[in-house]
Amino acid sequence: MSTAPVVLIIGCGIAGPVVAILLKRKGYQPIVFEKVSKLADAGASLMLMSNGLKVLNLIGVADDFTTESTPITTLWDAKATGEILGQSNLPSTFTSKYGQPAAGIRRTSANLKLKQLLLDSDIEVREGWQLTDISESDSSVKASFKNGQSVTGSFLIGCDGIKATSRSILLKNQGQTESAADYTGLTQTAGISPTPASLLPVPAMRNWYSDSIHAISYPISPTHTSWAITQRESQEKEETWRPCHPDEMLEQRAYLSKLLAGWDDAVLELVNSSERIIKFGLFDRQELGPEQWYSRRCVLVGDAAHPTSPHLGQGANQALEDAYHLSQLLPAVSTDGAPNEDAISLLVKDLAEVVFKSFAEMRQPRTSALVRGARVQGESRVASGDEACQKRDAAIESSFRDDSIIAAKFDNFLSHPF
Ligand SMILES: Cc1cc2nc3c(=O)[nH]c(=O)nc-3n(C[C@H](O)[C@H](O)[C@H](O)COP(=O)(O)OP(=O)(O)OC[C@H]3O[C@@H](n4cnc5c(N)ncnc54)[C@H](O)[C@@H]3O)c2cc1C
């Protein structure tokens, strides 16, 4: 029987499977618990950037993802009508500079590929196991699930996303109540469509800006493009990531076609040919302090630790950076099959002080800055009123005049985590 320390990993999204694979390589026995009874089709897409893909490359799936996608070569920003504000071929340099490109991928594909990799790596995945409670002692942790079962392990990693139960429990156990998520006043309608012929020749991340409405698109395969429309709306919709039913799709297409009348034909074509549409509200939360990311035997990772709005496209990439750094900080518990007694003793005595604290203190400032940056980016994208829109458009034009400004912005993301 294995004596490897059991690690309870909550959530089989992006961070959960990756941290599980990295820890298995260090001699741990991870078990991944996922609330969904069978992971299947969900969400729209993710933009994986070089920083996230570097981590995925460590577990051998980056090529698989980039081959399925069409990595972007260009950034292209325009007014709603298609009048260009600026463009740059900076992304075509990412692979030579950072070792990996930037590539959009279907969210479903990312989820299912990572789950398959867990199974191929002999890591147990328990679907339909929804975490409901955690109790800790000095040397172990017990997770309880909605199905009435409980499992004990050496420590627990909460990778359960933006609405993490692990985060609420940790905060409650620290005597704090989690504040409710704030509606940002913005909704996003996202879709996946065949790529319009006019967009096919240049695989680009494209932005269109108007008064109170912003559109973005990028390829997720040689034939398909993912897009999203952000707008100011008072109506709150939860971030359920549920695809619209066919009748809702027709309604959404008609609504968006009217809303976007006069826009670039490519945007209207994307909307009208969409194969799936998802609409959700964008919610925000106050950032947690590093000391709120962990307890004696639990630590939060990814969106569970730093939920973010999507405007910088860094949610999944930061979750991957977290997975890398946490796995680096955790000691290898066996070397060539022989137990590493020092590492095992550290796990029992100093896990929180030595590993979790260092992890949280290293990651919290960077992720908090990105959460705040995403908030600012979201607000500026949907600037309202003539004056604010002119100011925004002038700032975009000016940023494209000097590639070094855009390069510096991307370098802050992509030069990490190694
Ligand atoms: C279904 C879904 C679709 C998404 N679609 C998009 C999208 O289209 N575009 C975009 O930009 N971002 C999307 N996101 C958000 C984006 O994927 C995240 O920012 C990113 O994946 C962060 O990774 P993570 O591992 O921290 O969390 P996630 O990838 O969100 O993974 C969290 C996982 O934990 C599971 N979980 C939650 N609560 C529990 C519980 N109590 N017990 C056990 N398991 C639990 C969830 O089902 C999920 O599988 C989506 C998230 C989800 C869950």
Rounded to an integer, what distance in angstroms lies between the CA atom of residue 396 and that of residue 391?
9
Sign, CA dihedral 240-246-248-249, equals positive
State residue 356's pLDDT score.
98
Atom of ligand 1 nearest to the CA of 322: 26
Atom of ligand 1 nearest to the CA of 16: 25
Sign, CA dihedral 109-112-118-122, equals negative
Cβ–ligand 1 distance for 321 under 6 Å, the answer no
CATH superfamily for domain 6-48+107-180+288-390 = FAD/NAD(P)-binding domain (3.50.50.60)
DSSP string covering 22-74: HHHTTT-EEEEEESSSS--S---EEEE-HHHHHHHHHTT-HHHHHHHS----E
Please provide the size of the chain in residues: 418
Between the CA of 264 and the centroid of ligand 1 the distance, in Å, is 32
Alpha carbon 206 to chain centroid, angstroms: 19
Domain ranges for the chain? 6-48+107-180+288-390
State residue 179's pLDDT score.
79
User: pLDDT by residue (tens digit) across 180-208?
Assistant: 788 888 999 999 999 999 999 999 999 99
- Nearest C-alpha neighbor of 233 from the set 161, 285, 160, 282: 282
* CA-proximal residue: ligand 1, atom 6 (nearest): 43
Cβ–ligand 1 distance for 319 under 6 Å, the answer yes
State residue 2's pLDDT score.
61
Integer distance in angstroms from the first to the last C-alpha of the chain? 36
Between the CA of 344 and the centroid of ligand 1 the distance, in Å, is 31
Between the CA of 322 and the centroid of ligand 1 the distance, in Å, is 15
Cβ–ligand 1 distance for 165 under 6 Å, the answer yes
Ranges of residues in the chain with a pLDDT under 70 are 1-2, 235-242
Using DSSP bridges, classify how beta strands 334-335 and 338-339 pair: parallel, antiparallel or unpaired: antiparallel
State residue 236's pLDDT score.
59
State residue 237's pLDDT score.
57
Alpha helices in 225-350 (DSSP H): 246-259, 265-272, 315-329, 341-349
Atom of ligand 1 nearest to the CA of 45: 8
Atom of ligand 1 nearest to the CA of 33: 43
Rounded to an integer, what distance in angstroms lies between the CA atom of residue 111 and that of residue 136?
30
Rounded to an integer, what distance in angstroms lies between the CA atom of residue 28 and that of residue 7?
7
CB 352 within 8 A of CB 359: no
State residue 283's pLDDT score.
86
Between the CA of 263 and the centroid of ligand 1 the distance, in Å, is 32
